[in-house]
Each structure stands twice: as structure tokens, then as C-alpha cells.
Chain A
Amino acid sequence: MTTDEGIVYDRSLLGVETQIGTFELTREMILGFAKSTGETNPRYLGDDNGAGDIVAPPTICNVFVSGVSRPDINLEFGEIGFFAGQSIECKAEIRPGDVLSASTKLDNVYVKTGRSGKMVFAVWETQFRNQDDVTVALVTESFVRRNKNR
């Protein structure tokens, strides 16, 4: 069972969207992403010379999520924090030249109690829309805070 009862944090941030930036996705970026992750699919790499029609690998938006500065939720719990997990929903194709705008919001804060004790999870949802206002990806990230084991 999960609950947020008794967790002290800035609840006014729940559900409030914050713009985190606009990113133009160039062909060079798509090719760099594809090559660095060992892609072999010509759908992402083009022909042998890197020419031809391509689309971006489905998780490419994620490079813009890491390192984003988010509002501090002033969570009053835990001595250590870590990145717990992430999901990406791929909603539409992303192509070279697309301009993506991203907004993020605090989606949920909840408590789970496991073997190592109480853990507080903060879940952020980041939405990417293209220049036609079509949502292309939804990235959900979970961050955990807990106390050190003693």
C-alpha cells in the first residue's frame, strides 16, 4: 500500500506544469544518438552514407530530460536520494528538424516501506510536443529518498 500521508513537501507543486525548454532535433543529433547506441537499423541511420529519410530512435527525447533543473519540492525526508526508474511512452515519430518543447510536472509523491525501511518516491512526468503541438513522448521518472541503513 502506498500513501503520501505524513510526508512533508511543497504540495502546491503537484500537477503544476513548468516549461523546461525547446530543443531542435537535427539530423546530426539523430545520427549521433543512433551510432552511439549501436543502432544498425537504416530507419534510424539512413543508407550507407547516412543519407535518405530517417526517423529518430524512439527514446531520443530522454537525452533532453537528464540534467533538467526542476522546482525543489522541499521534501523533508531521507538522507540519501537516487534515481529509481523511468518509463517512456512513444506517441509519435520524431524527425530531423522537429522542434520539441518540453514541460514537466510533479505527478505524485508517495511512501513505500520495504526491507530497508521507509522510502519516499517523487514521480515527475515530462511531456514533449512537436512544432504542430502533437505529443511525441511522455517520460516518467521516479526519484527515491530514504535514510541510510544503520
Chain B
Amino acid sequence: MKKNLYFEDVEIGDDIGPIKRSVTDEDVIEFVSVREKEITPSRFTSNEVANREGMPEAIVPGPMNIALMSQILTDWSDTVCLLKIDVVFRQTVPHNIDLTFSGIVTDKDETGDSTKLECDVVMENSDGVKLVIGTGVIALPNKP
């Protein structure tokens, strides 16, 4: 069971995650269908279209990657409030491969003015290649 984290519990250097998962073809289709009722084959849903655009296979959409990256923070504790996430796409992310998401706390507001924390987050493939990197700003509540 996930522990409810409070601002006072966290220190700079604390690890977040890791979470391991993969994104299936079905996950991508469900994600794309949030916006498109009838899905047009694209680089995200069709290997053929992806090949024509110079990619070896269909890829995970950028907005889905950013949603997955934000989850490493929101899954850390139900008390996390995500304020901002900033990502850099270093490589395309194929479907159906093992992905590891992890993070680390890099800064903590010690002024007493807020309960904000800054974190680095990363998505890596099974060879340890960083596919997406980013930073997040979250807030945690004070201990009751």
C-alpha cells in the first residue's frame, strides 16, 4: 500500500520509483481514441505509416509520454499535487518495449513559503538509454 507522503518526510536526493511498464498497441489506440472517434492510421497506430515517415515502427505519442512521465510523480503518493512538468524528447518511444520510469528529488523549498519540491524524471529503455527526460514541480501537504 502506498504511503501518504508529507513535505516534512522528503529530502533532497530521495528516489522516486522506479516503475516498470510497457505501452501496448491497444494502450496507444485507446489513448488516441480519447481525441479521435474514428482513428486514422498514423505514425502512432500503424507500422506502415511510421515506416513511410522513416521510422522503423509505430511510436508512442508525445502527449502519452508526458502523461506517463507525470505518473512517476503522481504515483509516488496520493498526496502529490503536480504543478508543472517539463520534458525533452530525446528519442522516439516504440510500442511494446520494457520501459523504466524513475525520479529523484533535486530541490526542496526550505524557506517555509511553500511546500514545493523539484524532481528530475527519466524514461529509459532496457539498455538504459534515456528516451525522455524531464523535471517536475510538485507540492506535498504539511504533516497534520
Interface residues of A (CB under 8 A from B): 29, 32-33, 35-41, 43, 57-60, 62-67, 83-90
Cβ–Cβ contact B88 & A85, under 8 A:
yes
From B62, B64, B74, B86, give the contact of A58 (CB < 8 A): B74
Cβ–Cβ contact A88 & B85, under 8 A:
yes
Closest Cβ of chain A to B33, distance in Å, is: 6
* Interface residue B49 (Cβ < 8 Å from any Cβ of A): no
Cβ contacts under 8 Å, A86 to chain B: 62, 66, 86-87, 89
Cβ contacts under 8 Å, A58 to chain B: 70, 74, 82, 85
Cβ contacts under 8 Å, A60 to chain B: 67
Interface-forming stretch among B23-31, B110-118, B121-129?
B23-31
The prevalent SS among residues of B at the interface is helix
Name which residue of chain B comes closest to A30, CB basis: B34
Cβ contacts under 8 Å, A62 to chain B: 62-63, 66-67
Question: In B76-102, which residues have CB < 8 Å from any A CB?
Answer: 78, 82-89
Cβ contacts under 8 Å, B68 to chain A: 37-38
Task: Name 17 interchain pairs, CB-CB below 8 A, sorted by A.
Answer: A32-B34, A36-B64, A37-B64, A58-B70, A58-B85, A59-B66, A62-B67, A63-B63, A64-B35, A66-B62, A67-B35, A85-B87, A86-B62, A87-B87, A89-B83, A89-B84, A90-B82
Cβ–Cβ contact A66 & B63, under 8 A:
yes
Cβ–Cβ contact A37 & B67, under 8 A:
yes
Name which residue of chain A comes closest to B137, CB basis: A89
* Interface residue B17 (Cβ < 8 Å from any Cβ of A): no
From B27, B86, B87, give the contact of A37 (CB < 8 A): B27
